[in-house]
Structure 1
Amino acid sequence: MPQTPPRKPRNPYYTGPISDHFDGTVFFNPEGEAPLGFREFMRWQFGGGRIGWPKSAPSPFPPAKPDDHVDGDGLRITMVGHATLLIQVAGLNILTDPVWSLRTSPFSFIGPKRVVAPGIAFDDLPPIDIVLVTHNHYDHLDLATLKRLHEEHGPHIITPLGNDTIIHRALPDAKISDMDWGEKISFWDDITIDCEPCHHWSARNARDRRMALWAAFVISTPAGKIYHIGDTGFHDGINYKAAAAKHGAFRLANLPIGAYEPRWFMKAQHQNPQEAVEGLQLCNASYAAGHHFGTVQLTDEAIEAPVRALEVALKDQGVTPERFRALRAGEVFDVPVG
């Protein structure tokens, strides 16, 4: 008799024990909100209110040409664009959610298109040691860029549960560590990376929603601690408070400030600048680098709206502009000590 073919697993990326944020098939935000569904998505798409972006918006900063390393007490952040940052600290070169592609889309010919060139030309990158991929949305996990990085730099890729499967299918020889919330990985004797919660979701298509985990990362170094968030809803500040309670003070927090309108649709997944400033204070960070704005249009707000809203939020909450910088492509931020 012919055998019945084995059933495909309900989750194609991850199989593991049930936890407080995994029900055996999908991940979720504890005491949080799931993303809205197709009906609400269509209501947003056809509801009007989107403010058009220019086809091109050159950065006021020329493309950066980074040094090979930053040592000692130095901590340098260079903006590439959107959520792609080069972090140089303690002799390490770390890239976050690297995207050098023209579009943040499963297709090369359609989808959100970048309006500003990368702030570092790919060929001008220093040797990349570590790549952090926070989740699998196309504006954060770009396989074409990861393939090029793997071929030219061979970095260690660190990503939350399930995303490693997606990357391994495209890059079977890549060095990848998958992490759950609360786990830690060490480099040398004095550098660690912790995987921590954020309030978001994941999907590469219509059938894999929330089947790979999303996360923030804490990078602990002799030069201080860095709290990096790729995407998050504010979630009443719960995760910011938890990060401060667990890790103490941060020298720097990399916080998203864009893609937040309309609020009724985006509130659970993307914080706005007012919430980002509150997050800076709740997590006890000395400085913040604002990202996730001004590169590709994903939502309704105007291209400069996040920067203007950040200025207002800083004034409203009594935070000096020097503490929270919205970084443009090519801009370099040498983070002060203390």
Structure 2
Amino acid sequence: MTDDRSRSTHSVPRRRFAALLGAAPVLGMLPWMGGCSASGMASYEGPVSDHFDGARFFNPGGTGPRGLMDLARWKLNGNDEDWPDAYPSPFPPDRPPRRVEGRALRVSFVGHASFLIQGAGLNILTDPVWSERASPFSFVGPKRANPPGIAFDDLPPIDIILVSHGHYDHLDVETLARLWRRDRPRIVAPLGNDTTIREHDPAIEVSTADWGGAVPLGNGAEAVLEQVHHWTARGLWDRNRALWCGFVLRGLGDGVFFAGDTGFDDGRPFRRVAERHGPLGLALLPIGAYEPRWFMAGQHMNPADAVQGFKLLGARQALGYHWGTFKLTDEGIGRPLADLAVALAAEGLAPGRFIGAQPGLVWSGTVGP
């Protein structure tokens, strides 16, 4: 393993940029995809730590993200599988209740990395994206292959929003602003992401914390920010100026782990969560955007990785996300489901233990309304 502080970002000729469209995890590296400024995120200012060198965050002992020359190599020489224009979900749009009280837990999948988690009288959204594209622009970038599993107007009052990191397919400032205007939710994010959100709308309030930080959510629940293996950027020159994380939700059902985005990293993120929190009731784990492996392995799990992570966590149930909504990488739209089935069979796990979520899916101990 190499420390990603030793890696450098390379430039590519502007004539190649058109070939790079469609890779949302790297859209933030391109100056013309960085919004109004080529600089993207403002620099976080804080004390040096084991994962912050005073200017940028990094994965301790882990691999760093690939540079732009590798990106060009992938996009110009990859084995890209076509996606259909539309990939309808088998589930009807969900109309969630206003509240779910007590220890009961209801989880509804919106799409990509967006879940509505209801329990303990709280309504919590993860990485909410209701925009048509995972991009800073409305006219270019990965476009939805299916509508959100909950119509925006059918959302109950939102109390908490968890933002895992700053990539455009996870931090959608337009959706955050809509939710803020409507509900004034508490927004929780890892260090540095508050600047990106407030640059869009200075009125939005954001609570930030470092890895290991615990944020009370009310009603006896709390969110703990956990170290995962990823990176972030929104412009060409702002790589890792803000932090990334997963979240463990305690006091909701038997506990929930939302991984955000992560590479497998030899299983270390999952061992840490299991050691700190014990067996959890539900794990929300990414299973898509993983091909080609030489490029993506350090930042995104494939289904086989996710199954191994699930086993290391010791959770009772897993729902797989980060597939089938936005085309980010080379694998076909349905391949994560097929690869998940193969990985579960190889480990002797029942298919119902780890379900590939599609928009509108509702889990409350079983899949159903």
- In structure 2, give the amino acid aligned to 1:132: L
- In structure 2, give the amino acid aligned to 1:180: D
C-alpha distance in 2, partners of 1:10/1:38? 16
Name the CA shift for 1:222/1:141 in 2 (closer, same or farther; >3 Å): closer
- In structure 2, give the amino acid aligned to 1:266: M
Q: Displacement of 1:217 after TM fit? A: 0.6
- In structure 1, give the amino acid aligned to 2:138: S
In the comparison of the two structures, how many residue pairs are matched? Answer: 328
Give RMSD over aligned pairs. Answer: 1.4
Q: Which residue of 2 aligns with 1:317?
A: 347
Structure 1 runs not aligned, ≥5 long: 1-8
Question: Which of 84, 87, 101 is residue 54 of structure 1 equivalent to?
Answer: 84
Name the CA shift for 1:189/1:87 in 2 (closer, same or farther; >3 Å): closer
Range 185-194 or range 302-311, more displaced: 185-194
Question: Which of 254, 261, 271 is residue 284 of structure 2 equivalent to?
Answer: 254
Q: Displacement of 1:72 after TM fit? A: 2.4
Q: Which residue of 2 aligns with 1:208?
A: 238
Q: Which residue of 1 aligns with 2:200?
A: 170
Q: Which residue of 1 aligns with 2:59?
A: 29
Q: Which residue of 2 aligns with 1:328?
A: 358
Residue aligned with 1:224, SS? coil
Range 187-196 or range 275-284, more displaced: 187-196
Segments of 4+ moved more than 6 angstroms = none
**1:212-223 mapped onto 2 (5 Å cutoff):** 212-221=242-251, 223=253
Name the CA shift for 1:10/1:39 in 2 (closer, same or farther; >3 Å): closer
> In 1, are the aligned partners of 2:285 and 2:319 still within 8 Å (CA)?
yes
The answer to whether 1:292 aligns with 2:322 is yes
C-alpha distance in 1, partners of 2:68/2:112? 25
Q: Displacement of 1:158 after TM fit? A: 0.3
Q: Which residue of 2 aligns with 1:43?
A: 73
**1:1-338 mapped onto 2 (5 Å cutoff):** 12-188=42-218, 190-221=220-251, 223-335=253-365
C-alpha distance in 2, partners of 1:31/1:103? 34
> In 1, are the aligned partners of 2:162 and 2:187 still within 8 Å (CA)?
yes
C-alpha distance in 2, partners of 1:202/1:222? 28
C-alpha distance in 1, partners of 2:148/2:311? 30
Q: Displacement of 1:160 after TM fit? A: 0.4
C-alpha distance in 2, partners of 1:312/1:71? 37
C-alpha distance in 1, partners of 2:152/2:136? 21
What's the CA shift string for 1:29-60, capped at 9, x where partnerless? 01101101011000000013000100111111
Give the percent of matched residue pairs that are identical in Structure 1 and Structure 2.
51
Q: Displacement of 1:188 after TM fit? A: 3.2
C-alpha distance in 2, partners of 1:328/1:222? 22
Q: Displacement of 1:222 after TM fit? A: 5.3
Residue aligned with 1:261, SS? coil
- In structure 1, give the amino acid aligned to 2:87: A
Structure with the bigger percentage of strand: 1
> In 2, are the aligned partners of 1:77 and 1:335 still within 8 Å (CA)?
no
How does the TM-score come out when normalised to structure 1? 0.95
- In structure 1, give the amino acid aligned to 2:97: D
Range 66-75 or range 212-221, more displaced: 66-75
- In structure 1, give the amino acid aligned to 2:313: C
C-alpha distance in 1, partners of 2:199/2:206? 12
Q: Displacement of 1:276 after TM fit? A: 0.4
> In 1, are the aligned partners of 2:40 and 2:235 still within 8 Å (CA)?
no
Structure 2 runs not aligned, ≥5 long: 1-38
C-alpha distance in 2, partners of 1:152/1:11? 26
